[in-house]
Structure 1
């Protein structure tokens, strides 16, 4: 999804992301291209349900088809999430006209964070911040861009679920300018 997308496509993408199962799917599809059957097994869904959610993500332009493979006489499509593509947009030119959809997305992400914390391994440490701060606009831009770079590095390092030598992690970051109180 980018600013060049038509408004209807942007809205469809934000609506698609505002579903907790689809957020989980995007996470899985960051590390590898997977089929609906792969996702169904990993998330404990029916194949039909996984296919339905994949179609919504594809229609919203959030995932891309990444090949096909023959399985038991049929053809299974593989999908992946291209996180680099979503980082292309100019952050300062973000279109505020779909703020309502962004609010729905952030609410879905908050619910997803609640689900993930229930599965956390608190024995190895964590890092977290939640703050409403007043900072110089240039300082905010520089820090936001550094965090965006770290996010991209983390997405690039993602591997297939349960790959040997990997650990399951949760990363949730939301940075945005606040309106005047």
Structure 2
């Protein structure tokens, strides 16, 4: 992926509504109408955000269906494809492109905490820690595996028996002050 493509991809992600759409599309292939109902958006707005995500290479088409004389396109987020692409590229992400994404995710976390069910508990770690490089790599890899497990287990919105969760993970090596 070229730097220009990478910038377009991260720019597409750096919007709170598109982050929510990506989350929904992790568990199921959905249409613009499905997304507009779930997120309370207009159909036109949901379609616009889907087109932006598609242009950024973040989602893939997943079929079509006839609905009242029209054709509704389904889209999904393919986490396995992105993991493979990341593994193949092996290139560091441009920090100036990544920072706006992290800021958007931080704001999204604020929105989600307003909808939290604290009665069942939760967990959070926020710290600047100094650890051995081997420990960092080991923990980072275990967290990445847990993240993959969650993505692979994602279900469609409101699937009976499934619980809605918020998972935000940001782990990176920092430069020395």
> One fold, TM greater than 0.5?
yes
Take 2:92 and 2:9, find their aligned partners in 1: how far apart are those partners? 14
> 1:45-84 to 2 correspondence within 5 Å?
45-84=41-80
> 1:15-94 to 2 correspondence within 5 Å?
15-88=11-84, 89-90=86-87, 93-94=90-91
1:63 Cα deviation from its structure 2 partner: 0.4
- SS, match of residue 168 in structure 2: coil
Structure 1 partner of 2:114:
118
- SS, match of residue 38 in structure 2: helix
1:94 Cα deviation from its structure 2 partner: 3.7
Take 1:158 and 1:117, find their aligned partners in 2: how far apart are those partners? 20
User: Which of residues 92, 95, 113 is equivalent to 2:92?
Assistant: 95
User: Which of residues 121, 138, 145 is equivalent to 1:142?
Assistant: 138
Unaligned segments of structure 2, at least 5 residues: none
Take 2:161 and 2:23, find their aligned partners in 1: how far apart are those partners? 18
Unaligned segments of structure 1, at least 5 residues: none
1:100 Cα deviation from its structure 2 partner: 1.1
Aligned length: 176
1:137 Cα deviation from its structure 2 partner: 1.2
1:95 Cα deviation from its structure 2 partner: 2.1
Superposition RMSD in Å: 1.4
User: Which of residues 162, 166, 174 is equivalent to 1:166?
Assistant: 162
1:92 Cα deviation from its structure 2 partner: 10
CA deviation map 1:78-122 (0-9, x unaligned): 0000112222224994424x2111000000000000000000000
TM-score scaled by length of structure 2: 0.96
Query: Which stretch of the first structure deviates more once superposed, 85-94 or 46-55?
Result: 85-94
Take 1:161 and 1:54, find their aligned partners in 2: how far apart are those partners? 17
- SS, match of residue 180 in structure 1: coil
